[in-house]
């Protein structure tokens, strides 16, 4: 077996689709008996949607997403912030759609690509040597050339590979309930309330009856550990009254209840030899800002285009180290931003809650709103300081630098049809150029494969440089000389180290 993917959550499914789309055989296993029916994540950020679109896995998720346009912050019964108006100017919006539906769409794409998932198949342990990995799967022993651990926060792959996962607990317990209920709030708005004893959050969930809501609240430590559904709902009704001024909350029925503790942890390394980690197996943090699922999807896209090059013999194995070098700093900044936000937004002490009330009005400032939305969208992620961007990134005076996500400029095909650049990008590489770029195309095809590179032309204007775009829509290289591009590819693909693990 070429690649074993452990875990069929959003990260594992994205990785599997990405490899299958490049003709690489994968086996996907998951310890659960069947797909999850309850959703932790509720949002696909614009960047996550782009990744799925490139994979052909976005489907009609944008049409099915709920229309959530704003967020209100209420302190002691008074709405002090109404976020929303400035957001339209901030660019593409978050798709408000449950994780179960995102996963179902990815499974549909996986099946269309000829893949399947072996449910009820837990990975119990693994041992690697120079040529592959011996894996214990349920009662079965198999050998894979590569293993990608997408098996979530408690990753057995990570533990078996001996990769550390240092970090700490961020919050005490959080109650969560998805309930059918009548609530006074606007369906298109997320409400955060701060009242007596702490916070209470209300989020609308897409449902044909329009009565499904997610309720969340931190619970003080003086409650015993094992709370059942009835106790969770009773506490949430109490908190709704005390913290949000919603008396007599009537819950018809609960679709899901749970108790969470939020941790922040980051794997010491994303790769050990032939074992790779992605998604929650590599990083966990507070769900504030809707980053976890989206970061996992981004990891998977970054990893598999590189792994495919290594498996196809087009790159040295050292290329895989650029996966960790590019993606681990992204997780580091997500961990730090979400931890700060959680410590302020869900402060457990009275002093912390006063600080939250004092800082919240800053969110009224449109520029602050736009900045936060831009960060959450993940569209601003860049790899300028990563090992693939190299010194050329620093030489560029204007326009995108190597490592940047390429801007979504209008482009024109040979028949004269116009379309935004990102809608033309798939799982391959692209050369964006005005004028004759035949030499560049030939050079890129020599390194990457003829099928893997296409030429795209801007609809208007002239580009100063020829641009080589990576399969994850980041600028790989820009310049004039095809030979120089070849030298960049030679170095980037680690041809000298091709044989060493």
Interface residues with ligand FAD (CB under 6 A) are 6-12, 29-32, 40-43, 99, 122-123, 150-152, 156, 176, 260, 279-280, 287, 290-294, 296
Q: How open is the CA angle 30-35-41, to the nearest 5 degrees? A: 105
Read off the tokens for 142. 């198999």
Residue 121 CB, nearest approach to ligand FAD (Å): 6
Question: Distance (Å, rounded) from C-alpha 490 to C-alpha 473?
Answer: 20
Q: Which one, 8 or 315, has the nearer CB to ligand FAD?
A: 8
Q: Are strands 275-277 and 146-149 parallel, antiparallel or unpaired?
A: parallel
Annotate 45-102 with DSSP letters as a single string: -HHHHHHHHHHT--TTHHHHSB---EEEEEETTEEEEEE-GGGGGGSSPPEE--HHHH
Residue 287 CB, nearest approach to ligand FAD (Å): 3
Q: Which one, 37 or 349, has the nearer CB to ligand FAD?
A: 37
Residue 444 CB, nearest approach to ligand FAD (Å): 32
332: nearest Cα among 322, 342, 321, 324: 324
**To 10 degrees, what angle do helices 438-448 and 482-492 make?**
20
H runs (alpha helix) in 245-318: 292-311
Residue 440 CB, nearest approach to ligand FAD (Å): 37
Q: Which one, 31 or 427, has the nearer CB to ligand FAD?
A: 31
64: left (phi over 0), alpha (psi -120 to 50) or beta: alpha
Beta bridge partners of 180: 212, 253
Burial annotation 24-36 (CB, 10 A radius, 16+ → b, else e): bebbbbbbeeeee
Q: Which one, 99 or 427, has the nearer CB to ligand FAD?
A: 99
Instruction: Give me the sheet containing 78-83, strands edge to edge.
Output: 78-83, 70-75, 189-195, 198-204, 212-218, 167-182, 250-266, 283-284
Q: Which one, 279 or 428, has the nearer CB to ligand FAD?
A: 279
Distances (CA, A) of 249 to 174, 188, 232: 19, 19, 13
Q: Which one, 10 or 115, has the nearer CB to ligand FAD?
A: 10
Q: Which one, 8 or 251, has the nearer CB to ligand FAD?
A: 8
Residue 120 CB, nearest approach to ligand FAD (Å): 9
Burial annotation 430-443 (CB, 10 A radius, 16+ → b, else e): bbbbeeebeebbeb
Number of C-alpha atoms within 13 angstroms, CB side, residue 58?
Answer: 18
Residue 205 CB, nearest approach to ligand FAD (Å): 11
Residue 166 CB, nearest approach to ligand FAD (Å): 18
Which burial class, exposed, middle or buried, applies to 80 when counting CB atoms under 10 A from its CB (0-12, 13-18, 19+)? middle
Residue 9 CB, nearest approach to ligand FAD (Å): 2
Q: Which one, 136 or 497, has the nearer CB to ligand FAD?
A: 136
Write out the H or E segment, with its range, that includes residue 405. Answer: none
Write out the H or E segment, with its range, that includes residue 31. Answer: none
Residue 280 CB, nearest approach to ligand FAD (Å): 4
Q: Which one, 10 or 386, has the nearer CB to ligand FAD?
A: 10
Q: Which one, 43 or 479, has the nearer CB to ligand FAD?
A: 43
Q: Which one, 106 or 433, has the nearer CB to ligand FAD?
A: 106
Residue 38 CB, nearest approach to ligand FAD (Å): 10
Residue 172 CB, nearest approach to ligand FAD (Å): 14
- Please answer whether residues 377 and 46 qualify as being in contact, where contact means their C-beta atoms are separated by less than 8 angstroms: yes
């Amino acid at each position: 077996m070429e690649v074993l993917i452990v875990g069929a959550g959003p990260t594992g499914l994205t990785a599997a689709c990405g490899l299958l789309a490049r003709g690489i055989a994968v086996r996907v296993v998951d310890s659960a008996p069947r797909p999850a029916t309850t959703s932790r994540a509720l949002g696909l950020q614009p960047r996550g949607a782009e990744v799925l679109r490139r994979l052909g896995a976005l489907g009609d998720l944008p049409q099915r997403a709920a229309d959530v346009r704003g967020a209100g912050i209420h302190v002691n019964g008074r709405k002090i912030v109404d976020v929303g108006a400035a957001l339209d100017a901030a660019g593409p919006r978050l798709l408000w759609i449950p994780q179960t539906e995102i996963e179902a769409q990815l499974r549909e794409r996986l099946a269309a690509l000829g893949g399947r998932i072996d449910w009820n198949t837990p990975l119990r342990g693994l041992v690697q040597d120079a040529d592959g990995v011996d894996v214990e799967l349920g009662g079965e022993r198999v050998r894979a050339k590569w293993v990608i651990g997408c098996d979530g926060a408690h990753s057995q792959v990570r533990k078996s590979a001996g990769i550390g996962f240092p970090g700490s607990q961020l919050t005490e317990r959080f109650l969560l309930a998805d309930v059918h209920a009548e609530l006074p709030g606007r369906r298109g708005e997320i409400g955060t309330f701060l009242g007596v004893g702490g916070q209470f959050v209300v989020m609308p969930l897409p449902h044909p009856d329009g009565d499904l809501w997610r309720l969340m609240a931190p619970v003080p430590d003086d409650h015993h550990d094992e709370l059942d559904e009835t106790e969770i709902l009773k506490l949430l009704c109490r908190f709704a009254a005390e913290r949000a001024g919603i008396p007599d909350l009537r819950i018809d029925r609960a679709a899901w209840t749970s108790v969470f503790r939020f941790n922040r942890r980051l794997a010491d390394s994303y790769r050990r030899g032939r074992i790779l980690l992605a998604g929650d197996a590599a990083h966990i943090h507070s769900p504030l800002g809707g980053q976890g699922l989206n970061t996992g999807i981004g990891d998977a896209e970054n990893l598999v285009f590189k792994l495919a090059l290594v498996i196809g013999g087009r790159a040295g194995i050292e290329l895989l180290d650029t996966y960790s070098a590019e993606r681990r700093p992204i997780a580091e900044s997500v961990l730090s931003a979400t931890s700060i936000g959680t410590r302020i937004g869900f402060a457990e002490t009275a002093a912390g809650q006063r600080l939250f009330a004092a800082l919240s009005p800053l969110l009224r400032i449109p520029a602050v709103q736009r900045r936060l939305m831009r960060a959450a969208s993940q569209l601003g992620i860049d790899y300028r300081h990563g090992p693939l961007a190299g010194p050329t990134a620093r030489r560029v005076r204007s326009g995108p630098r190597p490592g940047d996500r390429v801007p979504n400029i209008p482009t024109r095909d040979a028949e004269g049809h116009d379309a935004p650049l990102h809608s033309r990008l798939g799982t391959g590489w692209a050369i964006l150029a005005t004028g004759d770029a035949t030499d560049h195309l030939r050079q890129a095809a020599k390194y990457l494969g003829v099928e893997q590179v296409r030429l795209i032309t801007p609809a208007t204007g002239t580009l100063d440089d020829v641009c080589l775009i990576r399969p994850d829509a980041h600028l790989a290289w820009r310049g004039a000389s095809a030979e120089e591009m070849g030298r960049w590819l030679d170095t980037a693909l680690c041809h000298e180290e091709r044989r060493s693990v």
